[in-house]
Each structure stands twice: as structure tokens, then as C-alpha cells.
Amino acid sequence: MKLETTRFGTLDIEEKQIIEFHDGLYGFEKENRFTFLPFNPNVESPMEWMQSILSPHLAFVVTDPYLYVLDYKLKLLDEDKKKVGLDSDESFLTRSIVTIPENYTEMTANLVAPLVINSKKKLGKQFVLTSMEYDTRHYLLPEEMRTTTATPH
């Protein structure tokens, strides 16, 4: 299928590349179909784009929170797993939405509302963790890297 986007132009994607979020995302409840794209196709990156299928202008930067917070804890109940079609012991992908400000060294990830994705069934859901352990704006880079003045490339 042809997908028109404002950021990437026209893309050719297959239906199997689309992840369904039946409930949408918080603040974007009508946005329930996304595809994942490389952050930069020419450079290996821990970031990805999550492009809306419905809205050409809507794309989120996402990343695997475990790359930045090694002891990140996401405990899903069996009833939560069923919401994305997972068996109790089946593995899943976890992504966090990233905010990248002008000074990119101060980028943050929302660790409170992770995206859980069943890549086999192409189903996803955004969960809100009730633990006070995490923040919606968790810095991804250590403080010593953030305090140096970064210049955009």
C-alpha cells in the first residue's frame, strides 16, 4: 500500500508492517494504526520512527527503554498480555516514546507509558505504569553528557 507522510514522502508498506493499537495512544485515541521505520536508514540507531497510517503528519520517535535503563521493570498481568494477544510466557517488544529537544543531549523517554507490541500478531497497546519508580521525562543520556553543550548536526 502507498502511505503518504509529511516527513518521509510516499512510502510503500505492506499490511504486515502495520501494528494495530485498538485503543490508540493516550492523547491520540483515534490513531490506532502505525508502522515502524528506521530513524535514519543510513545509520544504525537505537531510535525508530512510529509513523501513523491515518495522519501523514504524525510520527513519534521511539526506542527500547532497556537500552537506557538496564533494570527497567515492566510487569504485565496475564489479563494485560491478553489485550495484545500474548500467551502468559510469550515475549513482546517494549518501546518508549522519546522527546528530542533542540539540545538533543537532553532527550527524554516516557517510561511511565510504555508501548507493548506483539510482533507476531501485529497488536500493540500503551500501558500506564502505576509505580512511582519512573518518570514521563526520563533523561536517556547521563548527566555528564547533558551538561556539555551539544550542537545539532
Domain assignment present for 152: no
Domain assignment present for 113: yes
Domain assignment present for 151: no
Domain assignment present for 112: yes
Domain assignment present for 24: yes
pTM of the full structure:
0.90
The number of folded domains in the chain is: 1
CATH code of the domain covering residue 137: 2.30.290.10
Domain assignment present for 31: yes
Residue type, 51: Q
How are beta strands 47-52 and 59-63 bridged, if at all? antiparallel
Domain assignment present for 153: no
Query: How many angstroms separate the CA atoms of 44 and 23, rounded?
Result: 31
Domain assignment present for 110: yes
Residue whose C-alpha is closest to residue 46's, from 144, 141, 145: 141
Query: HSE-up of 139 (CA within 13 Å, CB side)?
Result: 11
User: pLDDT by residue for the chain (153 residues), tens digit each?
Assistant: 999 999 999 999 999 999 999 999 999 999 999 999 999 989 999 999 999 999 999 999 999 999 999 999 998 888 999 999 998 788 899 999 999 999 999 999 999 999 999 999 999 999 998 877 899 999 999 888 887 655 555
Residues spanned by the domain of 42:
2-146
